Amino acid sequence: MKSIGLIGYTNAGKSSLFQAMAGKPVLIENQLFSTLETTIGRMQKSPRILMVDTIGFVDNLPTVLLDAFNSTIKESTMCNLILLIIDSNDEKNEFRRKLETTLRELEAQKEHFDFKQLQTVLTKTDLVSNEKLNQLSEIITDYDLDAPICTSSHNKNGLIKLRQVILSRLYGMPISIDILLPTENSHLSQPAIIAHMYELGHIINETKIEASDVIRITLWVDDAVLNRYLSKSNNQIIIKKETKEVLV
C-alpha cells in the first residue's frame, strides 16, 4: 500500500480534491475545522493507493488544538507522497505568506520527512486567470519546489494530470510486460496473471499481440512487488522496456 497525504491551509480545497480523486464523500464546509479528524479513502481506479485528508493549517491556532494539529501533520508526513494544497484564488501576498508559513511548519517536521516527498497542487483554478497561475507557479519554484499541478475540483481541470503525477512519483515510469501462455512448468492462465496485475498495480493498457498468444499490459507497479511476483511466475512474464507513453 502506498499513501498520499493532503496538507495545506483550511479552506484551500483539500476535501474537495480528496472527494474528486477518492470519490468518497467527506464533510465539506467553508469554515474552520470541517475536517477535524483525518479521513482516509482510496484513489479511484488505484485501490492500492490510500489518500489521507488532513486537518488544515490555520493562523493563530488555539492552544487546545495545537497537539492534535501537530500529530496530524506528523502523521501525514509518514505518507509516501505529500500533496501541498494551495488556494490559487488567494491574493498574491496572502498566497506567499501562507506558503511561507506552511513551509516553516514542515521544516519543523523535517526529521520525519523529506521535501522530495512534496508535490504542490494549486486548487480553484476555475476562478483565476492563466497569467496569475503562471505568477503563482513562479513563486512556488522560487522556493525550490517542483512546479505545481494546476487543478480545479469544480470543473475537473488538471485531475488527470494530477493522477499521472501521483502514479509516476509513487511508482516511477510505467512498464510493459508480456504475458505468455502456460507451459508444462507453469500453470497460471493469462487471465489469472492479468487479474493479479490488477491487484498489484495500476493497469493502463492491455493488448493482445497480433499473430501470437502474447498479451501485453502496461502498468504502474512497485518494482519490489513486481519482482516478488516474477520470481513465482516461472518465466511466463517478460518485462519490456519502460514506456514513455503515459495514459490514464
Ligand X SMILES: Nc1nc2c(ncn2[C@@H]2O[C@H](COP(=O)(O)OP(=O)(O)O)[C@@H](O)[C@H]2O)c(=O)[nH]1
**Which chain residues interact with Mg ion by CB under 5 A?**
14-15, 35
Residue 239 touches which member of Mg ion, ligand X, none, C-beta under 5-8 Å by kind: none
Collapsed DSSP state (helix, strand, coil) of residue 184: coil
Q: Which is nearer to ligand X, 132 or 216 (CB)?
A: 132
Collapsed DSSP state (helix, strand, coil) of residue 15: helix
Structural contact between residues 88 and 136, judged by C-beta atoms closer than 8 angstroms: yes
Q: Which is nearer to ligand X, 29 or 242 (CB)?
A: 29
Residues 1-60 that bind ligand X (CB under 6 A): 10-16, 28, 30, 34-35, 56
Q: Which is nearer to ligand X, 11 or 233 (CB)?
A: 11
Check residue 217 for interaction with ligand X (CB under 6 A). Answer: no
Q: Which is nearer to ligand X, 149 or 219 (CB)?
A: 149
What are the cell numbers at 37? 479528524
**Dist CA 209 CA 115 (whole Å):** 42
Q: What is the 3-state secondary structure (H, E, C) of 161-172?
A: HHHHHHHHHHHC
Residue 12 touches which member of Mg ion, ligand X, none, C-beta under 5-8 Å by kind: ligand X
Residue 77 touches which member of Mg ion, ligand X, none, C-beta under 5-8 Å by kind: none
Residue 154 touches which member of Mg ion, ligand X, none, C-beta under 5-8 Å by kind: ligand X
Structural contact between residues 4 and 51, judged by C-beta atoms closer than 8 angstroms: yes
The nearest distance, CB 82 to Mg ion, in angstroms, is: 16
**Dist CA 46 CA 194 (whole Å):** 15
Q: Which stretch binds ligand X (CB under 6 A): 118-126, 168-176, 181-189, 197-205?
A: 118-126
**Dist CA 190 CA 131 (whole Å):** 50
Q: Which is nearer to Mg ion, 14 or 202 (CB)?
A: 14
Of 154, 161, 169, 216, which lies in the binding site for ligand X, with binding defined by CB under 6 A?
154
Check residue 124 for interaction with ligand X (CB under 6 A). Answer: yes
Collapsed DSSP state (helix, strand, coil) of residue 222: coil
Which residue type is seen at 146? D
Residue 225 touches which member of Mg ion, ligand X, none, C-beta under 5-8 Å by kind: none
Q: Which is nearer to ligand X, 158 or 174 (CB)?
A: 158
Check residue 123 for interaction with ligand X (CB under 6 A). Answer: yes
Q: Which is nearer to ligand X, 19 or 236 (CB)?
A: 19
Supply the DSSP string of 27-83, one letter for each residue.
Answer: ---SSTTTT-S-EEEEETTEEEEEEEE-PPB-TT--HHHHHHHHHHHHHHTTSSEEE
Of 152, 176, 233, 236, which lies in the binding site for ligand X, with binding defined by CB under 6 A?
152
Q: b/e map of 162-189 (b: 16 or more CB within 10 Å)?
A: bbbbbbebbbeebbbbebbeeeeebebe
Q: Which residues bind ligand X (CB under 6 A)?
A: 10-16, 28, 30, 34-35, 56, 123-124, 126-127, 152-154
